[in-house]
Structures are given as structure tokens and as C-alpha cells.
Structure 1
Amino acid sequence: MESRQVPETTRAEVLAVCVVAGLHADPGKVGVTAIDKRPVDGPVKAGPLGLYADVQADRKHHGGPDKAIYVYAQEDADFWSAELGRNLPPGWFGENLRVTGIDVNAAVIGERWRIGDTVEVEVTSPRTPCQTFARWVGGQDEPGWVKRFAAAGRLGPYLKVLQTGEVRAGDRVAVIHRPDGAPTILESFRRSRG
């Protein structure tokens, strides 16, 4: 597959780096959830399995090398904040990185980003909303959340860490490689849904 350098037209950056604040009881199969992510100050190490001090309770569906870091855009959070009528701070979507200035749902599978000075990541897959996420958002207060979130197409991608290092709020995010012909995060999600 051919690839090309993508010219920079915007200033994309990390607004917040989030790790698990605590495990919460959850009626799902695992019994607990680690979706409660909150911003931390200073640099955080990013390694092959994600951010230092972060954890995933359901490792069958989250985490591992291909889902080491989950990213959500402030622009998408602003959309949902208006839809839901409430503030949605960094970490609310269970994301590890809240970013701005980059359309994360238009990223293609295999696209590579440099975050800060050293960290390189690869876009691997879209987030698939689940019932744990629905319960976290508000369960009965937001009926049909999984379908609503999926239909909006504001999913956010999972990233694989190719080059380890530290990430922090304020780090620049630059697209350094974009394979030609690869599906976007949104296209990949919609294809998987049939």
C-alpha cells in the first residue's frame, strides 16, 4: 500500500492526558469497569500497553498492543456536550488523550502520528461503544446511547504505540504517515456493522 506525507494545515495538540481514577462496580460480565479516566498533571510514559498508571478492567475488549491508547477529540466532546446539555471534561468518554485540531474520525487505519518529541503511534481501529459505556453515560437517563453514539460517527480511534516516550498536555500532534486507500475510522466502523 502506498503512503504519503500529509501536509500540516492546522495545529493539533493534546489537551489532556487521562488515566484511570479508580475502578467502579459494574453489572457487566467483568464486574468492574476502569472507564473512569481523569486528567493528570505532567508527563506520562506511553509504552506498548498504554499509559503508565492506566488500566483496563475488560482486557478482552480493551487494551493490549493494538488498543493501547484511546483518543477523543474536543470538537466531538463539544458536540456531545451540546446534545446532552452538560459539561463533558477530559476523560469522560474513557479516553486517554483529549486532543484538538485533528479530525480523529477521518484518520485512516495505519495512519501514524507523532505526539510531542518522541512518541509515535499508529491508528488501529475505531472504538465500538458498549453497554459499559452506556451505563457510565447514564443508563436509563440516556436510553439508546450505544446506537446514538454509533450513529453520530464520533467514535475516536485506538492507537498502537510504535515509539515509546512521554506525553503531556500541550504536546503537538502531527500526522507523519497516511497510507493511501486505507479506510477511515468511521468507514471501518460502518463496514464492521454490515
Structure 2
Amino acid sequence: MDTASVLAVCRVHQLLEDPGSVGVTAIDKRPVDGPVRVHKLGLHGDIQASRIHHGGEDQALYAYSQDDADYWAGELGRALPPGIFGENLRVAGIDATNAIIGERWKIGLDVEVEVTSPRTPCATFQRRMHEPDWVKRFTEAGRVGTYLRVVRTGSIEAGDHLHRIFLPTHGVTIGKWFSDPTLEAMEALRDADADGEIRLQPEYHEEFEKLGRRLGA
């Protein structure tokens, strides 16, 4: 299938003071040189300050596409180096936002990951970007990137090839579910999960209930 690459592997550089509920944030991710071990909970040496909202096996890694970063560089009029979005992986040749929920990628020689859910912007992210109304702008643009579940551990580094090795048949993308969740998309995801084609994280079922109530299903 498609071949792409990892431009940078990023992990926390330092914890920053933050007025949020935890008091610090680990959003300051920066590229690292050489191979980095990938565990079920993410990159070796990386952390999440707020484990309630970030991390866990279903959000072990966060990938953001260079094309989306280039879009924002044009909008904001400044360079946006790898890690600025809090991403662990800056990727090229693959559209993380339009990845199909449940699709799988092979990175390098042995790591396999699974696309799980979109990134929801928060106030900490807005403070990181130093842009007024950033949460609103990021949401409206819908260029959110994707969280990844680690299916097979190993080591990765910048320059590794990235191959899409499995595509679910339901067709619902990360961007579609984030920007325009519909009953049709919900039913497609629910059926794929029930059939064992994909494994949705528990939060999806909570979203399904809310969507059903809102749309009268």
C-alpha cells in the first residue's frame, strides 16, 4: 500500500508551568536523534502531565502531518517545527487527519500502530501556540491529526518509512468523525467494532449515546 515517512520523533523536552488543573504541562515536545523505543504507552522517556485527558494505550502516540503543519505555518506566518503541536510523530506522505479509524501503519522494521481517535484542542494547547482563539480556529479547520494505539512495540527514528498495512472497510476517517459526526458514520463504526474489524476505545460508545440523543436516533 502507500509509503510515507517519519520526519521527526518527538518527546517531552521539559515540563512547563501551566495554569491548568495539573499545574504543569508536557506539551513541549521536541525532536530527538537516533532510535527511540516504543512501548504500549508510547515513547520511552515521554510523559503526559494529565493522565486523565492524555495518554493511555488508546492515545499512546500522537501523529501530525507535515501538510497540515504547512497549512498552519501559512495561516500564522511563522515556522512550526516538529513537536510544536505536541505531536510525537511528524509524518509526511500520509494524511493523519484523513486516516480511517482503525487503519494500521507499520513504522520502520517492527513497530505497528493503529489509528484510534482525533485530537481535541484544549486551553493548554492554545497557551502553547500563543494564538488568540486557537481552540476555535483549530477546531474549525479540522486539521486535528490522530492518536495511535501501539499494536507491536519496537524502535523508531526520524527517516523511517511508514506503510499503511490495513484499511478497514467502514471508511469513516478521523477528520470526518471530528468535524461532521453523523448517524450513518456512527452505525458504520459500531458495526465494524461489533464485527471485530476494528477496536473502538470506550469513549466512542459514550459519544454514540450523546450523538443518538442529539440527533434523535
2:158 equivalent in structure 1: 169
Show the counterpart of 1:98. Answer: 90
Secondary structure of 1:186's aligned partner? helix
Please give the secondary structure, in 2, of the residue aligned with 1:71: strand
- Kept in 2, the 8 Å contact 1:22–1:34? The answer is yes
Residue from 131, 139, 142 that aligns with 1:150: 139
Report the RMSD for the aligned CA atoms in angstroms: 1.2
Cα distance in 1 for partners of 2:6, 2:128 equals 24
2:44 is matched with which residue? 52
Instruction: Tell me the CA shift for residue 189 of structure 1.
Output: 1.2
Equivalent pairs counted in the alignment come to 183
TM-score, length-scaled by structure 2: 0.82
Amino acid at match of 2:85: F
Matched, 1:70 2:62: yes
Does the 8 Å contact 1:18/1:37 carry over to 2?
yes
**What is the correspondence of 1:1-194 to structure 2 with a 5 Å cutoff?**
7-8=1-2, 11-138=3-130, 142-190=131-179, 191=181
1:110/1:182 contact within 8 Å kept: no
Q: Which stretches in structure 2 are left out of the alignment for 5+ residues?
A: 182-206, 212-217
Deviation, 1:182, is 4.1
CA displacement 1:34-87 (0-9 Å, x = unmatched): 000000000000010000010000111110000000001111111101110111
Distance 2:137 2:72 in 1: 11
Partner secondary structure for residue 174 of structure 1? strand
- Identity score, percent: 61
User: As a proportion of its length, which structure holds more strand?
Assistant: 1
Query: In 2, distance between residues paired with 1:132 and 1:53?
Result: 21
- Cα displacement string for residues 10-49 of structure 1 (whole angstroms, at most 9, x for unaligned residues): x410000000000001001111000000000000000100
Q: Which amino acid is the alignment partner of residue 111 of structure 1?
A: E
Aligned mates of 1:146, 1:175 — CA distance in 2? 30
**Given residue 79 of structure 1, which amino acid in structure 2 is its aligned partner?**
Y
- The superposition leaves residues 99-142 of structure 1 with CA deviations (integer Å, 9 ceiling, x where unpaired) of 1000111101110000001000000000000010001110xxx2
2:162 partner SS: strand
Question: What is the TM-score of this pair, normalised by structure 1?
Answer: 0.91
Distance in 2, Cα, partners of 1:159 & 1:175: 13
Q: Match for 1:41: what amino acid?
A: D
Larger Rg: 2
Identify the structure with bigger relative contact order (alpha carbons < 8 Å, sequence gap 6+).
1
More helix, by proportion: 2
Q: Identify unmatched segments of 5+ residues in structure 1.
A: 1-6
